[in-house]
Chains A and B, each alone.
Chain A
Amino acid sequence: MKDKHFYIALIVIGLIGIIGISLLLGYTLKLKEKASIITIITTENW
């Protein structure tokens, strides 16, 4: 693999990862707005 291809692959994986994490965080924050009081308390990990 040429260096150029290696760096392109790194950038592509990085971009996919950042987009994926952003979508997951956005989804989580959206759910948070609708979560009920008791849902949050009962699902806490102690």
Chain B
Amino acid sequence: MDKKKLRYQIPILVGFALLYVALGVFIYLKFTVRVAYERSDGLKAKSIELDEYLPFDDNSQTVTIDTDLKLESDLPVIDGAAALYPVFSGFVGSTYPEASVVFDGTDFEANSALKMNNTRSAYQEVVDGTADIVFCAYPSDEQLQYAKDNGVELVFEPIGQEAFVFIVNENNPVDGLTSEQVRDIYSGKITDWSEVGGTPGPIVAISRNEGSGSQSTMIRFMNGQKIKDNHNLLLGKGIAFSFRFYVENITNYGGIKLLALDGVEPTKENIRNGTYPSTSYFYAVYRADNDNPNVPILIDWILSDEGQYVVEANGYVGIN
């Protein structure tokens, strides 16, 4: 009797266990893998590498210029966005003494005149007075409010231009969107790729953290429409935003493509001739009451032909 029962009991138990294993494998392959790669060395290696753009390194990818401006003392402390790091590293490499940059192999030390703490920290530092000039996209409302709350007036000097771009997986059949479609996607009015000429499937409109340069730019791009929280991150196919040079060159990610916007590709030429519809200035930002005599000198140099050469040679578009 027991042997007869065993004949069906054991397969049921094994089948039941295998069902759970199969469910676990399915969840892992479908959802977990999609976000787990963040921790892999391969993708970590693709975040910005400070040592690849050091201003005085022989193998640096940062382009500098020989110039008569040689700052020796009262060196303005420089910081800014990761996307602009090659540019402001180029300014420092052109005009600062080599000893002013102190890099410990992974990060800049506290006494270094060049730092790279990204947009959120940079804005805080310039308001607090621990950085003299920061190079960033226009700030968020919160960052402006932080300056106001501290009684600080900030000066925003445009020093170059960059395309604000939208990116998708390279296998996504959609090659371009209109500005209106992008706003409708991020406000939740368009939710499926088939509505914009793509393969049917939910759209994941991915945002960045508040206060980052690209998030602040996206909020302005939305023209007052609220960005809808997207909770479909594990199921849909994504669209995201960033800045052209950061995506194409600094991070050098494979597997993604930049979308044309209103039929115009985000190329350097189209930024320069003004046809790409979402072009943003980036700024040298400093306190209006900063009394370091080299701040205006450095700003004037950045706006000169030599400074603008450094902007262009490092992959961005100048303002002239």
B-contacting residues of A (Cβ < 8 Å)? 1-3, 6, 9-10, 13-14, 16-17, 20-21, 24-25, 27-28, 31-32, 34-46
The residue of chain A having its C-beta at the shortest distance from the C-beta of B172 within the complex is A46
A-contacting residues of B (Cβ < 8 Å)? 2, 5-6, 9-10, 12-13, 16-17, 19-20, 23-24, 27-28, 31-39, 43, 167-169, 171-172, 199, 204, 206, 208, 233-234, 237-242, 247, 251, 253-256
The residue of chain A having its C-beta at the shortest distance from the C-beta of B30 within the complex is A45
Q: Is there an interface contact between A10 and B16, defined as CB atoms closer than 8 Å? A: yes
Q: Is there an interface contact between B6 and A28, defined as CB atoms closer than 8 Å? A: no
Q: Is there an interface contact between B33 and A43, defined as CB atoms closer than 8 Å? A: yes
List of A residues within 8 angstroms of B23 by Cβ: 17, 21
Partner of B20, one of A13, A40, A42: A13
Given known A24-B32, A28-B234, contact A38–B254 (CB-CB < 8 A): no
Give the complex CA separation of A40 and B206 in angstroms.
9
Q: Is there an interface contact between A35 and B13, defined as CB atoms closer than 8 Å? A: no
CB distance from B4 to the nearest CB of A (A): 11
Partner of B233, one of A9, A21, A24, A40: A40
Q: Is there an interface contact between A39 and B35, defined as CB atoms closer than 8 Å? A: yes
Q: Is there an interface contact between B256 and A27, defined as CB atoms closer than 8 Å? A: no
